[in-house]
A and B are shown apart, each in its own frame.
Chain A
Amino acid sequence: MKRGLKLYGHYISITVRSMMQYKVSFLLTAVGQFLVSFNVFLGIFFLFQRFSNVKGFSYSEVLLCFSIMLLEFSLAEMYARGFDMFPNLVRRGEFDRIMVRPRSPILQVLGSRFELTRIGRMLQAVVMFVYGISVSGVNWTFGKVMTVVFMLIGGSALFTGLFLIYASLSFFTLEGLEFMNVFTDGAREYGKYPVNVYGKRMLQFCTFIVPYALVQYYPLLYLLGRVDSPAYIFIPLLAVLFLVPCYGLWRFGVRHYQSAGS
Chain B
Amino acid sequence: MRAVKKYTSFFRLRFSMGLQYRAAALAGVVTQFAWGFMEIMVFRAFYEADASAFPMTFSATVSYVWLQQAFLAFFMAWMMENEIFDAIVNGDVAYELCRPVDIYWMWFSRSAANRLSRAVLRCFPILIVAGFLPAAYRMEAPAGAAEFFLFLLTLVLGLLVTVAFCMLIYVLAFYTVSAQGLRILFVSCVEFLSGAVIPLPFFPDRMRMVMELLPFASMQNVPLRVYSGDLMGAALWRAAGLQLFWLAALTLAGKLLCRRAVKRVAVQGG
Residues of B within 8 A of A36 (CB): 184, 187-188, 191
In the complex, A187 Cα to B11 Cα: how many Å? Answer: 37
Interface-facing stretch out of A42-50, A76-84, A216-224, A233-241 = A42-50
B188 A39 Cβ-Cβ under 8 A: yes
Nearest residue (CB) in A for B203 is A46
Which stretch in A93-101, A107-115, A191-199 binds the other chain? A191-199
Tell me, in angstroms, the Cα distance from A51 to B53 when the chains sit together: 7
Rounded to whole angstroms, the CA-CA distance of A175 and B30 in the bound complex is: 13
In the complex, whether B27 has a CB less than 8 A from a CB of chain A is: yes
Q: How far is the CB of A209 from chain B (nearest CB, A)?
A: 14
Q: How far, in whole Å, are A24 and B192 apart by their CA atoms in the complex? A: 24
Question: Which A-chain residue is minimally distant from B22 (CB atoms)?
Answer: A175
Beta-carbon contact of A179 and B30 below 8 Å = yes
Among B147-155, B175-183, B220-228, B242-250, the stretch in contact with A: B175-183
A39 CA / B188 CA spacing, docked (Å) = 7
Is A29's CB within 8 Å of the partner chain B? yes
Bound CA span A253–B180, Å: 34
State A49–B204 Cα separation when bound (angstroms).
Answer: 7
Question: Interface extent on A, as a size class?
Answer: 35 or more
Q: Please classify how large the interface on chain B is, using the bins under 10, 10 to 19, 20 to 34, 35 or more.
A: 35 or more
Could you say which of A46, A47, A181 contacts B31, with CB atoms under 8 Å apart? A181
Measured between beta carbons, the chain A residues less than 8 angstroms from B28 are 178
What string of 1s and 0s marks CB contacts (under 8 Å) between B8-39 and chain A?
00000000000000011011101100110010
In the docked arrangement, what's the CA distance between A232 and B27, Å?
Answer: 37
Q: Are A175 and B202 in contact (CB under 8 A)?
A: no
A255 within 8 A of partner (CB): no
Chain B residues with Cβ under 8 A from A42's Cβ? Answer: 192, 197
Q: What is the predominant secondary structure among interface residues of chain B facing chain A?
A: helix
Of residues B30, B48, B178, B182, which shows the largest number of chain A Cβ atoms within 10 Å of its Cβ? B178
- Per-residue CB contact flags for chain A residues 47-89 toward chain B (1 = under 8 Å, else 0) read 1011111110000000000000000000000000000000000
Chain A residues near B27 (CB, 8 Å)? 175-179
Asked if A29 meets B181 with Cβ closer than 8 Å, knowing A36-B191, A53-B49, the reply is yes
> Could you tell me if B198 and A46 are in contact, using CB atoms closer than 8 angstroms?
yes
- Which listed residue (A22, A175, A198) contacts B41, Cβ 8 A? A198
- Residues in B neighbouring A54, C-beta threshold 8 A: 42, 45-46, 49
A177 contacts across to B, CB distance below 8 A: 27
Question: Smallest CB-CB separation from A56: which chain B residue?
Answer: B49
In the complex with contacts A181-B31, A190-B38, A51-B50 CB distance below 8 A: yes
B4 sits at the interface (CB 8 A): no
Residue B185 is within 8 A (CB to CB) of chain A in the complex: yes
Sample 14 A-B pairs with CB under 8 A, ordered by A number. A24-B181, A25-B181, A28-B178, A33-B184, A39-B197, A43-B198, A52-B49, A176-B24, A178-B24, A178-B31, A179-B31, A182-B31, A190-B38, A199-B41
Interface residues of B (CB under 8 A from A): 23-24, 26-28, 30-31, 34-35, 38, 41-42, 45-46, 48-50, 53, 55, 177-178, 180-185, 187-189, 191-192, 197-198, 202-204
- The 3 residue pairs across chains A and B that have the minimum distance between CB atoms: A28-B181, A32-B184, A176-B27
Q: A22-B178, A28-B182 are in contact. List 11 more A-B contacts (CB 8 A).
A: A24-B177, A25-B177, A32-B187, A32-B188, A39-B192, A40-B197, A46-B203, A50-B202, A54-B45, A55-B49, A193-B45
